[in-house]
């Protein structure tokens, strides 16, 4: 049987991993295992989880088969007990003068009766196979089993890593993208450290945690839940102990005093330095130096999460990684100030960059100026572009890497380029970072 073959194959893989670990003589520092060890442990964990799933599925098949074959016999066995119980109730009703309804025999078993109806009297546990089997009486069990096993044996490509997996190792999201378990789990864990990925989403649609919850350890689930609290807090306080620097939850803050539950350092929620009772907040030399540099460079600070932001290209409408929208000139909430939408000098620089990037060879000065002027006009018109719809791929192959303008990573195979605003982003950012 296909199910037994799958169980046997996974069991052999586990034996192979255990044999490899027993023969391995590699040494490494405690708490710092090599990548091969981490990969092997993760692979072993996935195999164990799927092996449990297969064994549960086999048990469900066995139960369904027993129901299909033995239902009539079960009905016949329970019939005498039902009749005896009814006789006792009937005698009691006669003594008390209550009317009664005639007893209807169930010796001729009705196929529409469910298995649960037959076994409820014995307080049998309700077994839910979670849609693995269709118990409609019009379908033969053999057809049901063939359908389930057929779906199980299907192969699918992960839209992130492009590897091929069996159906149970993949997850179809509401946006119709399909992830392997490893890629989806990595997205959730990456989102705990990178706010631009939070909440975990694909094609601008949030991904419910229950899609991957069973594949996460208790520590990983705690990290995801802590990140949700951290990234949903506007005025955040982090531990002033630089060796700790962890986020302090609002529940650990009393007045202006934040108590770190990890290292027990007390932090002032106003100046974010060490707590100072009954005194004004002291000046922070490091922060003041950073603000001085930011003022010289024209950087702006997000009013919500207080992160420093530098505008590389585009209009003065800024969207921080925390989701807050503000004006890059004055820092106020977007559309609440009279500032210009564009810095003309920065606009021309961006237009030149886009034109030179698209040119196959150096352009004559007059042609370059003409194209830059046209591109600047196009950028003005499309400054509110949200990059929706299909984005064309620009293939590599000339030995030069593409730089994603959202995550700044380099990509060698291809990049996606918006035909409206000409921003180029990688597939991961388009899928998981765009809001």
Distance of alpha carbon 364 from alpha carbon 250, whole angstroms: 60
Distance of alpha carbon 300 from alpha carbon 296, whole angstroms: 11
Q: Which two tokens stand for residue 314?
A: 């585009």
Split at pLDDT 50, 70, 90, the class of 200 is very high
pLDDT, residue 257, reads 92
pLDDT, residue 188, reads 96
More confident residue, 73 or 167: 167
Distance of alpha carbon 288 from alpha carbon 225, whole angstroms: 33
Give the mean pLDDT of the chain.
79
Other Cβ atoms less than 10 A from the Cβ of 315: the count is 20
Q: Does domain 389-435 have CATH number 3.10.450?
A: no
Split at pLDDT 50, 70, 90, the class of 184 is very high
If you average pLDDT over residues 250-262, what whole number do you get?
92
More confident residue, 271 or 63: 271
Split at pLDDT 50, 70, 90, the class of 159 is very high
If you average pLDDT over residues 33-45, what whole number do you get?
79
> Is the distance from CB of 136 to CB of 158 less than 8 angstroms?
no
**pTM confidence score:** 0.58
Question: Domain 155-231 belongs to what topology?
Answer: Herpes Virus-1 (3.30.40)
Other Cβ atoms less than 10 A from the Cβ of 113: the count is 14
pLDDT, residue 70, reads 63
Distance of alpha carbon 224 from alpha carbon 218, whole angstroms: 10
State yes or no: pLDDT of 1 exceeds 80.
no
Distance of alpha carbon 110 from alpha carbon 71, whole angstroms: 10
Q: What is the pLDDT of residues 205-253, one digit of tens each?
A: 999 999 999 899 999 999 999 999 999 888 899 999 999 999 999 999 9
3-state secondary structure at position 300: strand
The mean-pLDDT minimum among 8-17, 58-67, 144-153, 191-200 falls in: 144-153
Q: Which two tokens stand for residue 413?
A: 């195979």
| Closest to 107 in 3D by CA, of 66, 142, 76 | 76
Question: Environment class of residue 16 by beta-carbon count within 10 Å: exposed (0-12), middle (13-18) or buried (19+)?
Answer: exposed
| Closest to 38 in 3D by CA, of 155, 186, 149 | 186
State yes or no: pLDDT of 317 exceeds 80.
yes
């Amino acid at each position: 049987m296909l199910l037994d073959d799958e169980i046997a194959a996974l069991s052999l893989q586990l034996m192979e991993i255990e044999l490899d670990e027993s023969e391995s003589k590699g040494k490494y520092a405690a708490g710092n295992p090599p990548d091969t060890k981490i990969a092997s442990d993760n692979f072993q964990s996935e195999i164990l989880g799927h092996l449990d799933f297969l064994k549960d599925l086999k048990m469900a098949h066995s139960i369904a088969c027993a129901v299909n074959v033995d239902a009539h016999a079960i009905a016949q066995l329970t019939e005498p007990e039902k009749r005896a119980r009814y006789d006792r109730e009937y005698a009691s009703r006669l003594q008390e003068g209550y009317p009664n309804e005639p007893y209807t025999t169930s010796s001729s078993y009705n196929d529409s009766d469910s298995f649960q109806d037959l076994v409820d009297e014995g307080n049998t546990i309700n077994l839910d196979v979670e849609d693995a089997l269709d118990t409609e009486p019009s379908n033969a069990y053999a057809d049901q089993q063939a359908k389930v096993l057929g779906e199980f044996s299907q192969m699918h490509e992960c839209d992130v890593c492009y590897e091929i997996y069996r159906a149970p190792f993949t997850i179809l999201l509401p946006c119709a993208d399909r992830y392997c378990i490893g890629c989806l789990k990595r997205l959730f864990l990456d989102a705990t450290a990178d706010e631009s990925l939070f909440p975990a989403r694909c094609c601008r649609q949030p991904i419910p945690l229950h899609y991957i919850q069973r594949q996460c350890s208790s520590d990983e689930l705690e990290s995801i839940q802590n990140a949700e609290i951290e990234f949903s807090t506007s005025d955040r306080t982090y531990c002033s102990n630089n060796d700790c620097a962890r986020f302090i939850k609002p529940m650990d803050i009393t007045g202006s005093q934040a108590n770190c539950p990890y290292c027990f350092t007390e932090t002032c929620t106003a100046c974010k330095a060490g707590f100072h009772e009954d005194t004004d907040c002291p000046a922070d030399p490091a922060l003041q130096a950073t603000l001085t540099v930011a003022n010289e460079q024209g950087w702006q600070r997000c009013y919500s999460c207080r992160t420093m932001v530098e505008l590389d290209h585009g209009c003065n409408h800024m969207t921080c990684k925390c989701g807050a929208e503000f004006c890059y000139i004055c820092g106020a909430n977007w559309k609440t100030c009279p500032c210009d939408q564009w810095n003309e000098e920065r606009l021309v620089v961006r237009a030149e960059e886009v034109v030179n990037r698209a040119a196959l060879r150096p352009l004559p000065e007059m042609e370059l100026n003409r194209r830059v002027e046209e591109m600047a006009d196009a950028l003005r018109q499309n400054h509110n572009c949200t990059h929706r719809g299909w984005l064309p791929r620009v293939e590599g192959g000339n030995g030069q890497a593409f730089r994603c303008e959202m995550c700044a990573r380099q990509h060698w195979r291809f990049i996606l380029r918006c035909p409206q605003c000409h921003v180029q982003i990688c597939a991961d950012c388009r899928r998981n970072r765009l809001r």
